[in-house]
Amino acid sequence: MTLTFDIKPTTSPTSDQERAAKLANPGFGRVFTDHMAVVQYSQDKGWHSARVESRANFPLDPAAAVLHYAQEIFEGLKAYKRDDGGVNLFRPDANAKRFWNSAERMAMAQLPESVFIEAVEQLVRIDRAWIPGGEGSLYLRPFMIANEVFLGVKPSAEYIFAVIASPVGSYFKGGPAPVSIWVSENYTRAAVGGTGGVKCGGNYAASLKAQAEAIAQGCDQVVFLDAIERRYVEELGGMNVFFVFADGSLSTPPLGTILPGITRDSIIKLARDAGREVREEAYSIDQWRADAASGKLREAFACGTAAVISPIGKVRSTSGDVLINGGDAGPVAMGLRKQLVDIQYGRSPDPHNWIRDVK
């Protein structure tokens, strides 16, 4: 399916001076570009009214389905400025596919992958000047909400798909610093048959209480255990997790109740390219503690679009604290991070054709 996007540049663009001031220290998710891409859906018309226009509020009825039954999904990906001035997208096809799968699970209209990618590219083209240089990037947030005006409990018949963009600086100042994580014993993230593998807002809302608990314990992030036995490591509040062992192998929790992270999948492929064994298997918190104490476990790290890779330096719980690699970042995590970032910015070869050049 193809749609022609109506391009309507804003009549009140941000001045070069104001944009430069905002790009000097954008932080994360606080500064936004001038435009947004929008596509609408209705049962009678299908996908229609594709456009790029000034970023603005949506007119939303108080009875819109998303406000009552949380039919909402989203994605996160980035555009990177190359040294030659060109712009790269990293695996947007994988985001489009995951978005399609999320919509299917949430009983929402499924957006064709080609339309998803076109919307992202059109927004990047018109707001290209907002992409920071150096280690910064343009964070892209495609999302879809149910906007049918109806209070009955059923899948919505109308949806709004949109893409907004936010320039972001380097996630870490002075290089990736090891994070501390709190083991949640009171809350779980997802169960078999639930929406753990879906990128929907409800999953993140349900994690906020546990994340607040982690912060109260002096930690940066929370790690969830499985909902049945409360033994097996699943994922952090918003990132997947990996373990690196003394024999050079890696392990990561299996898919099913966790998000199929695109960074996670990329790390698996790069590690296997290098000849490392990568297992997708259950790993208990007790085993994590034992392997860290014995030296069998050498590194642990979290991964996701925002930070790419975050080394895990300390694990805290009511059972005591565990240091990983003496609390320092490890060479495997940092090597994989550099390899992945260099591909994203076009500084090294792309062996899997992950990069999409935005013309």
Q: Which domains does the chain have, with CATH numbers?
A: 6-168 (3.30.470.10), 179-344 (3.20.10.10)
pLDDT at 220: 94
The pTM of this model reads 0.96
CA 84 – CA 127 distance, rounded (Å): 18
pLDDT at 173: 58
Alpha helices (runs of H) in 111-200, residue ranges in sequence order: 113-126
Each residue of 240-273: b (16+ CB within 10 Å) or e? bbbbbbeeeebbbbeebbbbbbbbbbbbbebbee
CA 172 – CA 132 distance, rounded (Å): 15
pLDDT at 340: 97
CA 192 – CA 337 distance, rounded (Å): 31
pLDDT at 174: 57
* Structure confidence by residue, pLDDT tens digits, 249-264: 999 999 999 999 999 9
* Structure confidence by residue, pLDDT tens digits, 96-125: 999 999 999 999 999 999 999 999 999 999
* Structure confidence by residue, pLDDT tens digits, 172-230: 655 688 999 999 999 999 999 999 999 999 999 999 999 999 999 999 999 999 999 99
**Which sign does the torsion angle of CA 181, 186, 192, 193 carry?**
negative
Whether 295 has a pLDDT exceeding 90, the answer reads yes
Whether 164 has a pLDDT exceeding 60, the answer reads yes
Alpha helices (runs of H) in the chain, residue ranges in sequence order: 16-24, 65-69, 92-105, 113-126, 201-216, 262-273, 285-294, 331-344
Please, what is the average pLDDT of the chain?
Answer: 96
